[in-house]
Amino acid sequence: MLVFAIKNLQILFPAPGGVIHAVDTVNLELNAHDKLALIGESGCGKTVLAHSILRLLHGTTKISGEILYRGTDVLSANDSTLQKIRGKEIGMIIQNPGLSLNPVRTIGKQIAESCIEREKMSSVEAFKYAEDMLKMVGFSNPTKIALSYPHQLSGGMAQRAVVALGLTLNPQMLIADEPTKSLDEMSKREIIDLLIEMSKDKTLLMITHDLEAASCISNRVMVMYAGELIEEGPTEEIMNNPRHPYTKGFMNAQPKRGLKPIPGISPSLLNLPKGCRFHPRCSYAFPKCKTNHPELIGRNGHKVRCHACH
Ligand SMILES: Nc1ncnc2c1ncn2[C@@H]1O[C@H](COP(=O)(O)OP(=O)(O)OP(=O)(O)O)[C@@H](O)[C@H]1O
Ligand SMILES: [Mg+2]
């Protein structure tokens, strides 16, 4: 059953030197319990895309297209509908726990706050619920963690607390933005296992640089480059048979696959190249790639935006 869809999403930021094309004509569909990994290098538009889903972008941003959650267009929803969707239908694990946790409030208070506000719990009930949430995400000493301030937690513990925060209102869909970033190998593995467990009966959109995390958690992968989707397909297919030269390069740049960086740099989103956005860095580029923008096309759910791949 289709629960979530994005149609022709375009996100532009007016800037002094022109317009930043952060997200361009993105389309995607998620069925109930789908686990989608969105991958791509820094600055390609992943977080902007995630934030647009809960309308977290600032007022001057120009957004067009549709973001449909169970048929309701989030972009045109009124405040009360939006409020119901935020946290309760779609939960968000924001990139960087340092930014998503309030440094002057205890972890327990931060979880309890949304229960008091949204679920009308008393403060005693809410604090007890916060402890239960912390226990659920694997803390063996939930009371102590609930009474701790963010700076008293290690990176892995803070990320675990952020997962609890995102799950507080038991949303049907979860967006996790780089949940394993900056964690040591052991904490990374623990957070991956936690997300697998916690998202079992949920629809998941996970943004990650980490191919291992994407392989373990997702059943589908979408690859983004310079604001647009350039490849998508079933996880196993993308991991074992990537077709776009960028996806191949992104994989070879991973520490476990040789750490070979892709030559060149991503284009400025203020001044995108004509034709294929990857052509200046692509060793397979031929004249058509410099002039014609390729479509995202393919068979059996594996689509690629590349003239050289078809
Ligand atoms: N509020 C904003 N105003 C102007 N430009 C912005 C704004 N937010 C993001 N951008 C630009 O949009 C582009 C995409 O940013 P985004 O944060 O989505 O990247 P990302 O793919 O999440 O990168 P990372 O992997 O480093 O988290 C970047 O060029 C960024 O500078
Ligand atoms: Mg990001």
Domain count, the chain: 1
The answer to whether 27 and 10 are in contact (CB under 8 A) is no
The answer to whether 217 and 16 are in contact (CB under 8 A) is no
- Please tell me the number of the ligand nearest to residue 26's CA: 1
pLDDT attached to residue 159: 93
Q: Residue 309 is encoded by which pair of tokens? A: 């791949």
Of 27 and 17, the structure prediction assigns the larger pLDDT to: 27
Q: What is the CATH number of the domain that holds 50?
A: 3.40.50.300
Q: Evaluate whether residue 57 is within a structural domain.
A: yes
- As a whole number, the mean pLDDT across the chain is 95
Q: What is the domain extent for residue 68?
A: 2-104+149-309
Q: Evaluate whether residue 125 is within a structural domain.
A: no
Q: Which of 220, 298, 252 is nearest to 309 (CA)?
A: 298
Q: Evaluate whether residue 127 is within a structural domain.
A: no
Of 233 and 187, the structure prediction assigns the larger pLDDT to: 233
> Residues 229-236: what's their mean pLDDT?
98
For residue range 278-289, what is the model confidence (pLDDT) as tens digits? Answer: 999 999 999 999
Q: Which of 73, 64, 63 is nearest to 5 (CA)?
A: 73
* Residue partners of 184: CB distance under 8 A and separation at least 6: 155, 156
pLDDT attached to residue 204: 98
Q: Residue 5 is encoded by which pair of tokens? A: 């869809």
For residue range 154-172, what is the model confidence (pLDDT) as tens digits? Answer: 999 999 999 999 999 999 9
Q: Which of 38, 39, 48 to mutate to test the pocket of ligand 1 (most atoms within 8 A of CB)?
A: 48
For residue range 48-91, what is the model confidence (pLDDT) as tens digits? Answer: 999 999 999 998 999 999 999 999 999 999 999 999 999 999 99
For residue range 86-107, what is the model confidence (pLDDT) as tens digits? Answer: 999 999 999 888 888 999 999 9
Q: Evaluate whether residue 139 is within a structural domain.
A: no
CA distance 66 to 169: 25
Q: Evaluate whether residue 29 is within a structural domain.
A: yes
Q: What distance in angstroms lies between residue 13's CA and the mean position of ligand 1's atoms?
A: 10
pTM of the model: 0.95
Q: Evaluate whether residue 114 is within a structural domain.
A: no
Q: Evaluate whether residue 195 is within a structural domain.
A: yes
Q: Evaluate whether residue 268 is within a structural domain.
A: yes
Q: Specify the ligand 1 atom closest to the Cα of 45.
A: 18
Query: Band of the pLDDT at 274, cuts 50, 70, 90?
Result: very high
Q: What distance in angstroms lies between residue 145's CA and the mean position of ligand 1's atoms?
A: 32
- Whether 45 is in the pocket of ligand 1, judged by its Cβ within 6 Å, is yes
Strand order across the beta sheet in which 302-304 lies: 90-93, 173-177, 203-207, 35-39, 220-225, 228-234, 302-304, 297-299
pLDDT attached to residue 152: 97
Q: Specify the ligand 1 atom closest to the Cα of 50.
A: 18
- Whether 226 is in the pocket of ligand 1, judged by its Cβ within 6 Å, is no
Q: Specify the ligand 1 atom closest to the Cα of 40.
A: 21
